[in-house]
Amino acid sequence: MNHEARDNCGLFGIFGEPEAVRMTYFGLHSLQHRGQESAGIASSNGQLIQCHTGIGTVSRVFRSGSGLLEKLANPIAIGHVRYSTSGSTSPINNQPLLCEYSRGQVAVAHNGNLINAPLLRDEYEAHGSIFKTTSDTEIITHLLAKPTHASKPDPLAHVLNHLQGAYSLLLLFNNHIEAARDPYGIRPLCIGRTEKGAYVAASETCALDAMRAKFIREVEPGEIVRLDEKGLSNRFFVEPGSVTPAHCIFEHIYFAKQNSTIFGENVHEFRKKLGRQLAKDHRADADVVIPVPDSGTSAAIGYAEQSKIPFDMGFVRSHYIGRTFISPDQKLRELQVKLKLAVVNEIVRGKRVVVVDDSIVRGTTTRGKMRTLRQAGAKEIHMRVSCPPLRFPCFYGVDFPTKEELLANNRNLDEIKEFLEVDSIGYQSLEGLLSCAALPADHYCTACWTGKYRIPVDRPFNKFAMEHYQSHMFDDFPQPDG
Ligand code: SF4
């Protein structure tokens, strides 16, 4: 898909480990695919929280020789990698977001989108509150600080009941971490334990594997898990089982790493099943199956297995071209796409090629890739997509372009085929997609294909919903062109 729909965010936290900060650094590295715009770590010695965040990847923000990890060294830590789905790429919006209130300090790391944040912010501002960011996450700190909330027996549980939308959260207090997940369990969050016995919370299990921590379980929808010196304890802020989950199935299709297990199922295996299903429904007479790497690779393997058409790597992806903060002109942009994804001419020349991708968003990047295949001598191109046509925006933490910009909006299959300049097109059906999933069909969110939003969105929300408040302050700040 080539980042036309942006990743959301990645969370990592660890309690009671002398090397907690260094392990958070490595944990964030393994979650880097979930966001490359900013990174940050907050740590506590049990009394005082320190925090450092910056724009860029984990290795850029905590570059070697900077001494930052040493300065932060404490036994309790949380970290965050961000792609902005609410608020622009500006240092003020970096996370963890550290603040002080009447009960002490708290640092917040959030994955998801709070759809009622603009409304709540308006209310708080009307009563004199001052916000320092343009992201939805900050409202959580204001809710926590409100005296009538702070005096409740369980202020966090009380506050979470005020939030609507998608949120997997890590909150670092002076002497403990709280890990929480919204009642629908839209974004993933799991708990593990290191070999030395320290408890870990992370967006995906790949971050646990990175430090040989053992997966214990997922944080349940509507649950808060506390990590402190006594170990793990939990409580629910909504009645368990009272809400049917709405896990984001797009996590399985595109966002999550292949070696992760989320929503009870390994991502690579799930994508292979999608490929097999796609081959059953949309077989093509072809000589070779090639993936659009990396997120299309597992599905292409499944497609090749099922169709008995040989699998090969017709595209090679360069991992050394990251996002640039300088907007190049159109020609340079095209060159950059070519450098990111090069064609192996020998694999496709004179062949009938099946290309498998996880999804198509705007379609312009996909068309560019199809053109490079033609230029390399592909005789026929049969495009196969492992999810249904994307037709609706996401309000729960994925930054899709507007409905009008989506390729499948108001286009039929023939028009899509023509636009992409391919010989045939085959999309996964919604039924096909859901038949591959481990959980019952109604346990997933599918709103970007169906337009049926499980959490009603009263007020249109996009990543710049709260931007008007402070945007003038950052007129000169370079935005990533991604
Ligand atoms: S709308 Fe799509 S991307 Fe957004 S949460 Fe639902 S399934 Fe995921």
Per-residue pLDDT tens over the stretch 331-358: 666 677 777 889 999 999 999 999 999 9
pLDDT tens profile 294-324: 889 999 999 999 999 999 999 998 877 654 4
Q: What is the pTM of this model?
A: 0.92
From its phi and psi, is residue 17 left (phi > 0), alpha (psi between -120 and 50) or beta? beta
Question: Which tens digits make up the pLDDT trace of 88-144?
Answer: 668 899 999 999 999 999 999 999 999 999 999 999 999 999 999 999 999 999 999
Q: What is the DSSP letter of 19?
A: T
Instruction: Indicate if 9 belongs to the active site.
Output: yes
At residue 461, the pLDDT reads: 59
Residue with tokens 């990533």: 480
pLDDT at position 475 is: 36
Distance from residue 143's CA to the centre of ligand 1 (Å): 26
469: which residues sit within 8 A by CB, 6+ positions away? 131, 134
Q: Residue 478: what pLDDT?
A: 32
Question: Which residue among the candidates 9, 206, 248, 387 is catalytic per the annotation?
Answer: 9
What residue ranges line ligand 1, CB within 6 angstroms? 186, 248-250, 394, 396, 398, 445-448
pLDDT at position 470 is 45
* Residue found under tokens 């049969």: 382
* Helices then strands, each counted (H, E), the chain: 17, 23
User: Which amino acid, 179?
Assistant: A
Structural contact between residues 433 and 285, judged by C-beta atoms closer than 8 angstroms: no
Ligand 1 centroid distance, CA of 247 (Å): 8
Instruction: Report which ligand 1 atom has the smallest distance to the Cα of 166.
Output: 5
Q: What token pair was written down for 298?
A: 């597992």
Strand order in the sheet with 231-236: 97-101, 104-111, 168-173, 176-181, 223-228, 231-236
The two three-digit tokens of residue 22, written as one number: 């260094």
Ligand 1 atom, smallest distance to 393 CA: 1
pLDDT averaged per 10 residues in sequence order, the chain, 482 residues: 63 97 98 94 98 96 95 98 73 95 96 94 95 94 95 97 97 98 98 97 97 97 98 97 96 95 97 98 98 94 98 90 51 70 96 97 91 96 98 90 90 97 98 97 97 85 56 36 26
Rounded Cα gap, residues 164 and 198, in angstroms: 32
Cα 326 to ligand 1 centre (Å): 30
Indicate which atom in ligand 1 lies nearest the CA of residue 186: 5
The residue to mutate among 167, 168, 250, having the most atoms of ligand 1 within 8 angstroms of its beta carbon, is: 250
> Would you state the pLDDT for residue 295?
85
What's the gap in Å between 160 CA and the centre of ligand 1?
21
Closest-lying ligand 1 atom to the alpha carbon of residue 400: 3
pLDDT at residue 480 in the model? 31
According to DSSP, the β-strands at 168-173 and 176-181 are antiparallel
